[in-house]
Structure 1
Amino acid sequence: MKFVIKSISKNSGRLGQLRIKESKELQTPLLLQTTKGGSIPYLSAEVFELLSQDHQQMLQLTLSTMEQMSESLAQWNRSLSDYVGYPGYNTLLLLRDPCETTPTGGNDRDVVPLFTRHGKESLTAARYLDIVANFAPDVYQGLCDADTNPESTKKRVQKSVDRTERFMEQCYEQHSKLERLKDSTLLAPIVGGYSTFARTQSIKHARQQPAGSYGGYILEGFHTNGLAATELKPAQLLPIVEHCVQQLEEEQLRLMPGAYTPLLLLELIRLGVDVFDTSYAYCAAVNYKALTFSYVQDKDEHAAFLDVTDEAIKEDFKPLLKDCSCLACQKHTRAYIHHLYKTHELLGPILLMIHNLHHYMSFFEAIRVSMAADRLPELIEHVRMQNATTEVNYRIEPNNKVVGKAAMGKGFIAAAV
């Protein structure tokens, strides 16, 4: 993997290019496509190709949703992207699913818990590397204890750093010895909760490794994934991230997985974080929300979301978002998608996912254009206010709709339970 910085601005963050093996160059800030079980949620590969034909793509796969595939992948002699039905795509393997809340606890001196649909599995560093070798992804994260959040105690934070150092000693040692990982890039995890001291300790351990031991950083341990990431307070998170970024080499890639709000994401980009994912778009869709915030300067007032459960749109024959060119908005109305919700049809979340992914990918295109013109602060302010008099709230409220037994497992309901 090769990462090259194209430009750096004090006000607008940094633009870069990422090349993995012989693939096309990916522009950063980069948006990873979050998957579940190796698939884009609710979409077939053919539909996603129609949706993403003008956008660069890289798949974010998670061991918590794919661990059961390890044995069959050990016998697979082609690429991981071929196995999941997206040939030619670059792949990045994470330990945890950023779309779902990760249960706390289960950590021990020598193991990290992996929560799968089959229950909890305890991973040692050796076991983790064996599984990752079966997957043979293009990029993968090192094993870490990231079970921290804004409420974590000083003792819990320090344990996460100490354990991560022990895990990573084995990861660095074994990475170069495993034949199936010879073409894979390791990302060094930076943990330490909201302690600048602990974060510095984690960074020092990574930077003490021989040159070429890893190809970038993944900043973990800020939240427990899922909707928790949408609730983070910028005043609490941003100083910690800025502290970390100031100690990291400029030439190394920086990744932060999680459903950060669009406004917080922009602030992280301004600080110098390079790679994010689409978990925010997914979390909005499964909670009945279409993304409607504006990323183009205008004078109209905009809302962060459209709630498709709202009875007020049952006879609203406009698209989810005015002037949106996605497949959902071009062919369907708010009233129809509200009807799909009322009748528990599977097409409902499919259309919402199509719209939200299209909107978020276009948002990242606008981000890169703004950064190239050194106008990211203007975009941040527009996203913050949306031409309203008060700051827009991008927090995703969990779906608390009452679900009848007859509707269980159907359409939107399947996403809500």
Structure 2
Amino acid sequence: MWSPFGSVFVKPKEYMEMISSLKPNLWASLADEVPAWVSEKRNKTSVDRTLHWLDDCLALDPAGGANILGAIVGGSSIEERKRCATKVAMQNVSGFWIGGFGLGESMEERPALLNSVMDSLPEKKLRQISGLSLPEEVLQGVAAGIDLFESTYIYHLTLGGFALTFPLDIVERDIMHSQLSDTGSDCTKINLRATIYRKDTTPIVENCSCFTCQNHTRAYINHLLNVHEMLAQILLEIHNTHHYLAFFHSIREAIKGGKFDLFHRRFIDGRRAHVTSAVPCS
């Protein structure tokens, strides 16, 4: 691991002492994550290292694994993903932390990789994933059976001056004929640094109940961004966090109502409609 004094070699015993001192309710074992393009040999090594580290941590854990999320990796290999998931599922852990996604695999090959992991895990234990954060990726993960997402999406979105604007009432509206596109938009977010918003006196999203939308306009945030005022990031993060959490609420409601597949399909159809439309984006 890296410290203020450079790299430091930490053994499982020292690592478990640090974890114990923090007294977390839940924590994930470390994983050797690798990108999708590594060799088969390197991928296998990453799985072996991840499994050995979990074994060592469990042997030293006084709680016997009651608070541990076992790490699962495997890169772009279905076989290695399945091998890792199967072995971790046999351990006495409280749930699973699934890593190695968002590191080069395509959207098309991801479902098979996710399913190879999910099919090997017990249904009643928590499943957390890292690396999936875009709305369409989240929906892909939920469809596969993911419970919890670890993401820095909102932070990086806000840092870039972007605001989430995609509709949340997807099941109720006709997504193909709704007003989804906006100048400087990709159908999910808008770039509030764009000149077009300099005189836009509307809120980021109409009828949004967040503090930012209730009190400020796109034009004001555009001004703050362009003069490099710190308040811009604060107001943007308030809205983006509110919108992203509302997105997850909509997903839960769709699941409760048995309409998740419709929700998922309409969201993706809306994205495709935007990509194939003739409306230019800046």
TM-score band, normalised by the shorter chain?
0.7 to 0.9
SS in 1 for 2:27: strand
Q: What is aligned with 2:12?
A: 125
SS in 1 for 2:208: coil
Distance change (3 Å), C-alpha of 1:388 and 1:168: closer
Q: Is residue 130–residue 151 contact of structure 2 (8 Å, CA) maintained in 1?
A: no
SS in 2 for 1:235: coil
1:307 matched to 2:194? The reply is: no
Distance change (3 Å), C-alpha of 1:369 and 1:290: same
Distance change (3 Å), C-alpha of 1:115 and 1:308: farther
Q: Is residue 293–residue 386 contact of structure 1 (8 Å, CA) maintained in 2?
A: no
Q: Is residue 58–residue 64 contact of structure 2 (8 Å, CA) maintained in 1?
A: no
What is the CA deviation profile of residues 217-273 of structure 1, one whole-angstrom value per residue up to 9, with x for unaligned ones? Answer: 11112245xxx7xxx522121110011101111111111023521112112111111
What is the CA deviation profile of residues 267-287 of structure 1, one whole-angstrom value per residue up to 9, with x for unaligned ones? Answer: 211111111135222221111
- Matched residues in 2 for 1:329 and 1:116: separation? 41
SS in 2 for 1:122: coil
SS in 2 for 1:201: helix
SS in 1 for 2:47: helix
Counterpart selection for 1:220 from 78, 82, 99 = 99
Amino acid at match of 1:366: S
Q: What is aligned with 2:141?
A: 268
- Matched residues in 2 for 1:258 and 1:137: separation? 22
SS in 1 for 2:36: coil
Counterpart selection for 1:207 from 68, 89, 93 = 89
Amino acid at match of 1:301: Q
SS in 2 for 1:335: helix
SS in 2 for 1:370: helix
Q: What is aligned with 1:280?
A: 153
CA RMSD of aligned residues (A): 2.1
Counterpart selection for 1:248 from 113, 118, 121 = 121
1:194 matched to 2:67? The reply is: no
1:291 matched to 2:173? The reply is: no
Counterpart selection for 2:40 from 143, 154, 162 = 154
Q: What is aligned with 2:220?
A: 336
Q: Cα distance, 1:193 vs. partner?
A: 0.8
Distance change (3 Å), C-alpha of 1:339 and 1:381: same
SS in 1 for 2:82: helix
- Matched residues in 2 for 1:291 and 1:117: separation? 36
Q: Is residue 193–residue 225 contact of structure 2 (8 Å, CA) maintained in 1?
A: yes
Identity %: 27
Tell me the matched-pair count.
265
Question: Which residues of 2 match residues 3-402 of structure 1 at below 5 A?
Answer: 114-115=1-2, 119-146=6-33, 148-176=34-62, 185-209=67-91, 213-224=92-103, 233-297=106-170, 298-299=173-174, 300-302=178-180, 303-386=187-270, 389-391=273-275
Higher normalized helix content (fraction of residues): 2
SS in 1 for 2:193: coil
Amino acid at match of 2:28: Q
Higher normalized strand content (fraction of residues): 1
Q: Where in structure 2 are there 5+ consecutive unaligned residues?
A: 181-186, 277-282
SS in 1 for 2:273: coil
Q: Cα distance, 1:342 vs. partner?
A: 1.1
What is the CA deviation profile of residues 91-126 of structure 1, one whole-angstrom value per residue up to 9, with x for unaligned ones? Answer: xxxxxxxxxxxxxxxxxxxxxxx3467654433222
- Matched residues in 2 for 1:265 and 1:123: separation? 33
Q: Is residue 162–residue 192 contact of structure 2 (8 Å, CA) maintained in 1?
A: yes
TM-score, with length taken from structure 1:
0.60
Distance change (3 Å), C-alpha of 1:223 and 1:356: same
Q: Where in structure 1 are there 5+ consecutive unaligned residues?
A: 1-113, 393-417
SS in 2 for 1:276: strand
TM-score, with length taken from structure 2:
0.87
Q: Cα distance, 1:132 vs. partner?
A: 1.0
Q: Is residue 100–residue 131 contact of structure 2 (8 Å, CA) maintained in 1?
A: no
What is the CA deviation profile of residues 288-343 of structure 1, one whole-angstrom value per residue up to 9, with x for unaligned ones? Answer: 11011112132422221110110110111111111111001110111110111111
Q: Is residue 137–residue 184 contact of structure 1 (8 Å, CA) maintained in 2?
A: no
- Matched residues in 1 for 2:82 and 2:141: separation? 18
Q: Hey, which bits of structure 1, 4+ residues long, moved more than 6 A?
A: none
Amino acid at match of 1:157: N
SS in 1 for 2:71: strand
Q: Is residue 139–residue 186 contact of structure 1 (8 Å, CA) maintained in 2?
A: yes
SS in 2 for 1:167: helix
Distance change (3 Å), C-alpha of 1:333 and 1:390: closer
Q: Cα distance, 1:387 vs. partner?
A: 7.6
Q: Is residue 295–residue 383 contact of structure 1 (8 Å, CA) maintained in 2?
A: no
- Matched residues in 2 for 1:388 and 1:202: separation? 35
Q: Is residue 142–residue 186 contact of structure 1 (8 Å, CA) maintained in 2?
A: yes
Q: Is residue 292–residue 304 contact of structure 1 (8 Å, CA) maintained in 2?
A: yes
Q: Cα distance, 1:374 vs. partner?
A: 1.1
SS in 1 for 2:9: strand
